[in-house]
Chains A and B, each alone.
Chain A
């Protein structure tokens, strides 16, 4: 995985609360056997009409969204199904961070394993971002700070080990595999 240190981008805003993973990618797109190419199904039912044509009023179909790498979303983003296809679709589309006041547990875990930063910030900063769609902001993973164009900046929490892996381009399976001796010892203890 590519190391991630800083993301600077304009934002795309989806202000709805409780955006579930069925909205991020509907179940009918889950009959795949790889992780690739799911960006085209991202928010499919909000993005396309029944005839497959893009809905012009949806933000991802507007010029302002082009090239954005940061999605600002309402409270409790990513709730519902555990489908990792949700972060796969967001990353394949081009997003590298999701910013909200709360992010669902399973989605957050899945995002951290795919180079998508789940950023939880305070309600005031979040409200500013909702009111200023398209603002250019920066997210610094090393210092754990999100900076607004106003010059204000806030810190955000991120699990320490996931941060270490993201900063260094490591994957967690390598670490788990390095603990083989401990796992074997545990299994031997349980078998006694």
Chain B
């Protein structure tokens, strides 16, 4: 058989019907993740047509996007500010019960951001096809799964048939060599990649991240990388499963049991891209020369090393508009700019290692006066782990606001928002206009840079503050 990429192996294994010039492939979906915001219209389609859900056993649901993060609202029966959001949550509870879908509801100890809990449970596994009505489904590609975001109509297709109609995308290899310097993280690496290939550089492609830099990353770090594939326009990003992947999955509740483990690992090993496989395109990145990165504009491709100045592109209308929105000027330094809010969390950087990174900076230090630091764990399990490890105490002693899990200030639809004109240093994934609140200005960074900036009250380089 001809040499194949990881993507091609997973794709072919899930073709119920191969594509033809007239019709797309029918692709079987192993795992479907559902949440409260993009599922109601899809459940309604089933109800309208009198269709059952084909495989509720291949579907997991939780609530994360529109849910509050204040403990009193999650557990204390304090009212949720937004009636519509509360109704959406109740509708997911009803739909999950009606259609027999397993739901991690508001009070479940395993609830959290959908892309955090599925790996944490061991439900995300190498070689799977995974979809969700959320563009950051690309996160799961860190395990060597083919995972991508879909719209609500397609959510309905999967509910009804466990399949999707899909044209086969192209493949893009991103080869990354070199060792990340101290204080430079997976987040800085993916921001640098997006800065290099652009926000539409991956359109039509599935990315495979390859090379010694990627092999050296932990699963939490790999998830940060794959998570932001969509910010480069690629629906999916994948990483070949290896010993790091298997060690992460071993013993997790939904991972294969001990008796099936060896067979599963043997199967997963065979997924790696064959040595002679050919990609449709490739890009090389030198990770060893990277510095902490920060966005200065209104999409993730408008990004510079933290010690750099803002590019001067007065002849570019898009850059002009972005800088006007941000209140910045070409030629200004990023370091030292004042900030209002620091947000540490999201499906990009809300996992336990991200919280350890924040704690490494915040230990024994205080948040600068006038700055709000919001730390939102990616799941309730991570919240408990951070509390048991003493991280939460470090955060609270520093003056941070420590919350229940959820998407929170990554997107302004759950009560956690910034005010017009405020600067938010954020570990999330999108710095679009208004993403964190109408008129709010987002600066995307790593957890190190976010924590360092919280302490200094302005944009700070974390490399001098690691302890």
Once A20-B299, A81-B135, A104-B200 are accepted as A-B contacts, the answer to whether A30 and B66 lie under 8 Å apart by CB is: yes
Q: Which of A45, A104, A173 contacts B203 (CB 8 A)?
A: A104
Asked if A32 is at the interface (CB within 8 A of a chain B CB), the reply is yes
Asked if A6 is at the interface (CB within 8 A of a chain B CB), the reply is no
B416-458 interface code vs A (CB 8 A; 1 in, 0 out): 0000100000000010111100110000000000000000000
Assess the A182–B26 pair: CB atoms within 8 A. yes
Within 8 A of A (CB), among B364-418: 411-413
Closest chain A CB from B140 CB (angstroms): 14
Q: Which of B38, B45, B432 contacts A23 (CB 8 A)?
A: B432
Assess the B160–A176 pair: CB atoms within 8 A. yes
Place the interface of chain A in its size category: 35 or more
Within 8 A of B (CB), among A21-58: 22-23, 26-28, 30-35, 45, 50
Closest chain B CB from A176 CB (angstroms): 5
Among A18, A104, A105, A164, residue most surrounded by chain B Cβ atoms (within 10 Å): A105
Q: Which of A16, A20, A45, A106 contacts B151 (CB 8 A)?
A: A106
Give Cα A45 to B38, complex, Å: 21
B12-49 interface code vs A (CB 8 A; 1 in, 0 out): 00001100011110101000000001101100110001
Asked if B278 is at the interface (CB within 8 A of a chain A CB), the reply is no
Asked if B111 is at the interface (CB within 8 A of a chain A CB), the reply is no
Assess the A173–B157 pair: CB atoms within 8 A. yes
Which residues from A are CB-within-8-Å of B45? 173
Which residues from B are CB-within-8-Å of A114? 153
Stretch at the interface among B112-120, B161-169, B208-216: B161-169
Asked if A155 is at the interface (CB within 8 A of a chain B CB), the reply is no
Assess the B16–A182 pair: CB atoms within 8 A. yes
Which residues from B are CB-within-8-Å of A186? 16, 28
Q: Please name the residue on chain A nearest to B430 by beta carbon.
A: A80
Asked if B284 is at the interface (CB within 8 A of a chain A CB), the reply is no
Asked if B152 is at the interface (CB within 8 A of a chain A CB), the reply is yes
Which residues from B are CB-within-8-Å of A76? 199-200, 203, 233
Within 8 A of A (CB), among B194-253: 199-200, 203-204, 230-231, 233, 235
Within 8 A of B (CB), among A158-192: 159-161, 164, 172-173, 175-177, 179-180, 182-183, 186-187, 190
Give Cα A164 to B21, complex, Å: 12
Interface residues in B, total, Cβ within 8 A: 68
Assess the A161–B200 pair: CB atoms within 8 A. no
Once A84-B151, A179-B26 are accepted as A-B contacts, the answer to whether A30 and B37 lie under 8 Å apart by CB is: yes
Within 8 A of B (CB), among A75-89: 75-76, 79-84, 87
Give Cα A109 to B432, complex, Å: 22
Assess the A45–B434 pair: CB atoms within 8 A. yes
A100-126 interface code vs B (CB 8 A; 1 in, 0 out): 001011100110011000000000000
Closest chain A CB from B424 CB (angstroms): 15
Once A159-B24, A176-B161 are accepted as A-B contacts, the answer to whether A34 and B41 lie under 8 Å apart by CB is: yes
Closest chain A CB from B135 CB (angstroms): 4
Assess the B28–A27 pair: CB atoms within 8 A. no
Among B66, B233, B430, residue most surrounded by chain A Cβ atoms (within 10 Å): B233
Assess the B204–A105 pair: CB atoms within 8 A. yes
Asked if B313 is at the interface (CB within 8 A of a chain A CB), the reply is no
Assess the B413–A30 pair: CB atoms within 8 A. yes
Closest chain A CB from B191 CB (angstroms): 16
Assess the B37–A80 pair: CB atoms within 8 A. no
Within 8 A of A (CB), among B163-191: 163, 165, 167, 169
Once A31-B66, A33-B41, A45-B438 are accepted as A-B contacts, the answer to whether A75 and B149 lie under 8 Å apart by CB is: no
Once A16-B318, A34-B40, A176-B165 are accepted as A-B contacts, the answer to whether A106 and B149 lie under 8 Å apart by CB is: yes
Asked if A17 is at the interface (CB within 8 A of a chain B CB), the reply is yes
Q: Please name the residue on chain B nearest to A74 by beta carbon.
A: B318
Q: A109-B151, A186-B16 are in contact. List 7 more A-B contacts (CB 8 A).
A: A79-B199, A79-B299, A172-B165, A173-B49, A180-B161, A182-B16, A186-B28
Chain B contacts to A: CB under 8 angstroms = 16-17, 21-24, 26, 28, 37-38, 40-41, 44-45, 49, 51, 54, 65-66, 82, 84-85, 87-88, 91, 133-135, 148-154, 156-157, 160-163, 165, 167, 169, 199-200, 203-204, 230-231, 233, 235, 299, 301, 317-318, 321, 411-413, 420, 430, 432-435, 438-439
16 pairs across A/B with beta carbons < 8 Å? A18-B200, A20-B432, A27-B435, A28-B413, A33-B40, A45-B433, A76-B233, A79-B200, A80-B231, A82-B133, A82-B150, A82-B151, A106-B150, A113-B154, A160-B22, A187-B162
Chain A contacts to B: CB under 8 angstroms = 15-18, 20, 22-23, 26-28, 30-35, 45, 50, 74-76, 79-84, 87, 102, 104-106, 109-110, 113-114, 159-161, 164, 172-173, 175-177, 179-180, 182-183, 186-187, 190
Q: Which 4 A-B pairs have the closest CB atoms?
A: A84-B151, A110-B151, A31-B84, A82-B149
